A and B are shown apart, each in its own frame.
Chain A
Amino acid sequence: DQQVKQNSPSLSVQEGRISILNCDYTNSMFDYFLWYKKYPAEGPTFLISISSIKDKNEDGRFTVFLNKSAKHLSLHIVPSQPGDSAVYFCAATGANNLFFGTGTRLTVIP
């Protein structure tokens, strides 16, 4: 059973516009959420995270929002750049195990 879901397998955005990647989870015991970015032939790299006690965390162009009542988090990238084109995974943890979504492929069009 998939505890972390990314329902959009792909997303295309014009350069300079906002990219919004969404993630839903089912386990209310998760207490930490992370976003990873993955380029082809490379392993995932950590991007940004948020604790369950917060509803927003911002780091430069990247902002993660958490809506615990809806069990939903989103990653906003603004402005989007062509170098942001990658697969983005959200992940959640409540113990020692990281649960990953299936990823969303973001394409930023120049």
Chain B
Amino acid sequence: SAVISQKPSRDICQRGTSLTIQCQVDSQVTMMFWYRQQPGQSLTLIATANQGSEATYESGFVIDKFPISRPNLTFSTLTVSNMSPEDSSIYLCSVLASGFSYEQYFGPGTRLTVT
């Protein structure tokens, strides 16, 4: 199994500012995923980050709002830009359990509150 860490674990931010969330995996992985879980909602995929290429965003999410970096096979960042209270969520990164698996391992999440 993969061990995934995220920083920060939580933060309270002012409206209009940006926050960068880091995700570190203890093994090399091709695909990393970023999810959002808003209060009372299901986990929603924001984007898929492949090393060496631009992230692929799901419908409703754009690069200007959620820029993603993937500098190597063990690390990724997600930035939440120009935040509003509606961005208050838990943000999670995940990786596939194996190249041929649908199962994903998740990080512990970053709880973001925007005031």
> B85 CB to closest chain A CB, in angstroms?
21
Chain B proximity mask over A1-16: 1 for CB below 8 Å, otherwise 0 = 0101000000000000
Residue B106 at the chain A interface, CB threshold 8 Å: yes
Instruction: Summarize A's interface: helix, strand, loop or mixed.
Output: strand
Contact B102 A4 (CB under 8 A): no
Contact assessment for A89 and B43 in the assembled complex, using a CB-CB cutoff below 8 Å: yes
Interface string of A40-55 (1 = CB under 8 A from B): 0111111001000000
Residues in A with CB closer than 8 Å to B58 are 97
Pick the residue among B48, B103, B108 that contacts A43 (CB under 8 A): B108
- Residue of A whose beta carbon sits closest to that of B106: A43
Q: Does B53 lie at the interface of the complex (its beta carbon under 8 Å from any beta carbon of A)? A: no
Known A-B contacts: A36-B106, A46-B105. Give 5 more (CB < 8 A). A43-B92, A43-B105, A99-B42, A102-B40, A103-B42
Residue ranges of A at the interface with B (Cβ–Cβ < 8 Å): 2, 4, 32, 34, 36, 41-46, 49, 89, 91, 93, 96-103
